[in-house]
Amino acid sequence: MESGEVGEFLQHRPRLFALAYRMFGAAGEAEDAVQEVYLRWDAADRAGIDNPEAWLTTVTVNLCRTWLVSARARRETYVGPWLPEPVPTGGGALGPLETVEARESVSLALLAALERLNPVERAVFVLREAFGYPHAEIAAMLDVSEANSQQILHRASERVRAGKRRFAVPAEQARTLIEQFLAAAATGDVAGLRTLLADDVVSMADGGGKVTAARRPVTGAEQVARYLVGLAKFLTPASTFGFEEINGEQALIVREDGEVPSSVLFVEVDAEGKVAVVRIVVNPDKLGLVVAARV
């Protein structure tokens, strides 16, 4: 492939990765998809490609649709709760996140909710909601009618946003809340931690069978408070804590010996400012980009 043609692909690569990541919720699978798209671009007769962006986007989204079938099958046998892979976004890894809607499009909450959708629904939702493609272009990419694309989006939106409403929290407020949360857990203050939690709070930990983690969601304020206090007992004097922008929101990073991330914690807040959902990623296979961001 000539250098100009490589450059053409590289120009679009970040956006293709951002698209594939939203389709999979997993950076490794997204990277594999983008690499396969590159190979197809290399082998294509580019003289017949009038719009490289449209061609690359179409190939990427349809490849992801196909691969999602096997990815979802693997997740059905996953040990414990499956959570999306954390991606540091302070450097623009998933594209501009300048609005609440853009940040929501890469949040763990939304990516986890996208698991409710079939591959076509997910493709339409991501192309429209995250990238703003008009239905006419989405229909052409996915080989459906424009009216069908609109119907699919309506159905997908209802399924994704079913249940409790998620409230965006400013970064400083989120950080303060997590600090209070951590202080109560670390000192064994079950009662203090309980006051920060919604009555119907849910805590999920993704260990993937690689490290010790609850294999079912823990529910209810009292149970979650005691569970998190129990987790805090595994911290050591060498454990350090920091805040970073991960998936468009403030997350707590726990590191061992000040270097190696051992967990990433996210909180979701309800209308009263209480913690409604706790998501903890401890599977070391999912912390690679958090490690790389520190290098």
Does residue 143 share a domain with residue 231? no
For residue 165, tell me if it sits in a domain.
no
255 domain-assigned: yes
pLDDT in tens, the chain (295 residues): 555 567 889 999 999 999 999 999 999 999 999 999 999 999 988 878 889 999 999 999 999 999 999 998 888 899 999 999 999 998 888 988 888 888 989 999 999 999 999 999 999 999 999 999 999 999 999 999 999 999 999 999 999 987 656 677 788 888 899 999 889 998 999 999 999 999 999 999 999 999 988 999 999 999 999 999 998 888 878 888 999 999 999 999 999 876 789 999 999 998 888 999 999 999 999 999 998 766 4
State whether 62 and 124 are in the same domain. Answer: yes
Residue 166 within a domain:
no
Q: How many CB atoms lie within 10 A of CB 272?
A: 8
Report helix, strand or coil for 50.
coil
The CATH number that applies at residue 65 is 1.20.140.160
- Token pair belonging to 48: 């017949």
Q: Which residues pair with 218 in a beta bridge?
A: 203
Residues contacting 274, CB < 8 A, separation 6+ = 196, 197, 198, 201
Looking at residue 294, its pLDDT comes to 62
Report the b/e string of 223-240 with b at 16+ CB within 10 A: ebbbbbbebbeebeeebe
pLDDT in the model for residue 4: 58
Establish if 22 belongs to a structural domain. yes
- Amino acid 258: pLDDT: 65
**Among 185, 169, 294, 295, which residue's Cα sits nearest to residue 244?**
294
Residues 121 and 28 in one domain: yes
Q: Tell me: do 8 and 151 sit in the same domain.
A: yes
Co-location of 15 and 113 in the same domain: yes
Q: What pLDDT score does 165 carry?
A: 60
Query: What pLDDT does residue 5 have?
Result: 67
How many residues would you count in the chain? Answer: 295
User: Are the C-beta atoms of residues 60 and 66 closer than 8 Å to each other?
Assistant: no
Domain-terminating residue out of 138, 160, 182: 160
Chosen domain end from 120, 136, 160: 160
Q: Are residues 73 and 108 in the same domain?
A: yes
Q: What's the rounded Cα separation, in Å, for the pair 180 and 174?
A: 10
Tell me, yes or no, whether 147 and 39 share the same domain. Answer: yes
Grouping H, G, I as helix, E, B as strand and the rest as coil, residue 207 is coil
Helical segments of 77-118, H only: 100-104, 108-113
Residue closest to 243 by CA, chosen among 151, 158, 177: 177
Reading the block at residue 75, the tokens are: 């997740």
11 CB contacts (<8 Å, ≥6 apart)?
Answer: none
Domain that holds residue 66: 3-160
Residue 136 and residue 24 in one domain:
yes
Closest CA to 68 of 140, 106, 107, 116: 116
Domain count of the chain?
A: 2
In angstroms, the CA 167 to CA 146 distance is 32
Same domain, 190 and 272: yes
Q: Assess if residue 188 is contained within a domain.
A: yes
Within a domain: 153: yes
> In this predicted structure, what is the pLDDT of residue 145?
97
Q: Is residue 142 part of a domain?
A: yes
CATH number of the structural domain spanning residue 285? 3.10.450.50
Domain co-membership, 155 together with 180: no
Give a yes or no: residue 232 inside a domain: yes
Ranges assigned E (strand) in the chain: 197-206, 218-219, 239-246, 249-256, 260-269, 275-281
Q: Are residues 10 and 144 in the same domain?
A: yes
Domain end residue (candidates: 160, 195, 220): 160
Say what the pLDDT of residue 212 is. Answer: 85
Cβ atoms of 71 and 26 within 8 Å: the answer is yes
- Let me know whether 140 and 11 are in one domain: yes
